[in-house]
Structure 1
Amino acid sequence: MKTKITLALVAVFLLGLSFTAGFSYARRLAKPNPSAVISQQKASREDFEWGSLYTYYTDETYGTKDLLAAVAVIKPGMEIHPPHLHAEEEFLMVTEGEGTWSMNGKTFPAQAGDMQYAAPWDEHGITNTGTTPLTFVVWKWNNKGVKVPKQPSH
């Protein structure tokens, strides 16, 4: 009887070691983005009907997950997509051009130097209403140490 209990305890111990080693290995594989400088030429460029998106960083950092750091160039009269909402926090900063911000059903002018913050689940967007391309920088992420808020029901 003692032998069976001892073997069972050894098996549980070895299983625990195996799980811990596997977990540690998986964490090493999922390293966050290292410190770096990425030029626009090295960013991933995608072209769409509305304009171009230059993606610099995705994945995670030490404190964030679901990260997007990018630059969008929107053609006159276009928008990337209609106003939308999501769990990630997001900053948008216009660097060139002009347009219209939308935030929770309201619209107002957007111009170079303006920055918008969208909290989780707040509806937001931007449209190029000018005659030249509108360029903006976007940072979007979820925090690793902060629980993602549930989408409120309206």
Structure 2
Amino acid sequence: MKRLLFFFIILISFITYGQNGQIPIEDAINSFDIDSVQKTKVGYQYWFLSKEELDGRTIKMSVVKPGLFTHAPHKHIQDEFFFILEGKAKFYLNGEERIVGPLTSLYCPSWSMHGIANAGEEELKYLVLQKYPKTEE
């Protein structure tokens, strides 16, 4: 329960950080729409918030078929959070692996080698939250 509470505190601060005004309610709602998913080789993804929309912050849902993974372990400049919604995930971080289930958050610090794979017999659904660094213009 503490992990779930921590995740939602991070999510709220992630979304609201840097907001300097009000937006119309229509711009604050994004309901999942199966017709708007992006197909991938291993399932699909749905962007609730792309990096172009809110100062480099992103939220997407990834769905991965059993036994597959979106890509091999990798690293990048941005921190990354995963939040498991459904299924079993094999989480890889800097040479270690753990199997986790729903309502679990996973944190990948900047430049850490990390990956996530479906370790179950059903679809794996998880949220991915990132904050891309600002680029010089």
On whether the aligned pair clears a TM of 0.5, the verdict is yes
Structure 2 unaligned regions, length at least 5: 1-22
Instruction: Give ranges in structure 1 of 5+ residues lacking alignment.
Output: 1-33, 148-154
SS at match of 1:109: strand
Q: CA deviation at 1:142?
A: 3.0
Residue 39 (structure 2) pairs with residue 39 (structure 1): no
Partners of 1:36 and 1:44 in 2: how far apart?
A: 17
| Contact 2:91/2:117, CA 8 A, preserved across alignment | yes
Which among 46, 52, 62 is matched to residue 54 of structure 1? 46
The structural deviation recorded for 1:77 is 0.5
1:69-115 per-position Cα deviation (integer Å, ceiling 9, x unaligned): 10011000100001111111111010100021000111111211111
The 2-side partners of 1:110 and 1:101 are apart by 7
Name the aligned partner's letter for residue 46 of structure 1: Q
Matched-pair identity in %:
28
**Which secondary structure does the structure 1 equivalent of 2:28 belong to?**
coil
- Alpha-carbon separation, structure 1, partners of 2:49 and 2:70: 19
Distance 1:141 1:110 in 2: 24
| Cα distance in 1 for residues equivalent to 2:124 and 2:87 | 4
Residue number in structure 2 paired with 1:96: 86
Could you give the per-residue CA deviations for residues 24-52 of structure 1, whole angstroms, max 9, x where no partner exists? xxxxxxxxxx5511010188411122001
Match of 1:136 in 2: 126
**2:64 match:** 74
Could you tell me how far apart the structure 1 residues matched to 2:35 and 2:49 are? Answer: 8
* Matched residue, 1:23: none
1:60 positional shift: 4.7
Tell me which amino acid in the other structure corresponds to 1:40.
Answer: F
Residue aligned with 2:103, SS: coil
- Which amino acid is the alignment partner of residue 142 of structure 1? Y
Runs of 4+ in 1 over 6 A off after TM superposition: none
Asked whether the equivalents of residues 66 and 141 of structure 1 are also in contact (C-alpha less than 8 Å), the reply is yes
Deviation at 1:56, TM superposition (A): 1.3
Q: What SS does the aligned partner of 2:71 have?
A: coil
Please point out which of 111, 117, 120 is paired with 1:121: 111
Which residue of structure 1 lines up, in the alignment, with residue 16 of structure 2?
A: none
Query: Which structure has the larger Rg over C-alpha atoms?
Result: 1
Alpha-carbon distance, 1:67 to partner: 2.5
State the alpha-carbon separation in 1 of the partners of residues 40 and 60 from structure 2: 15
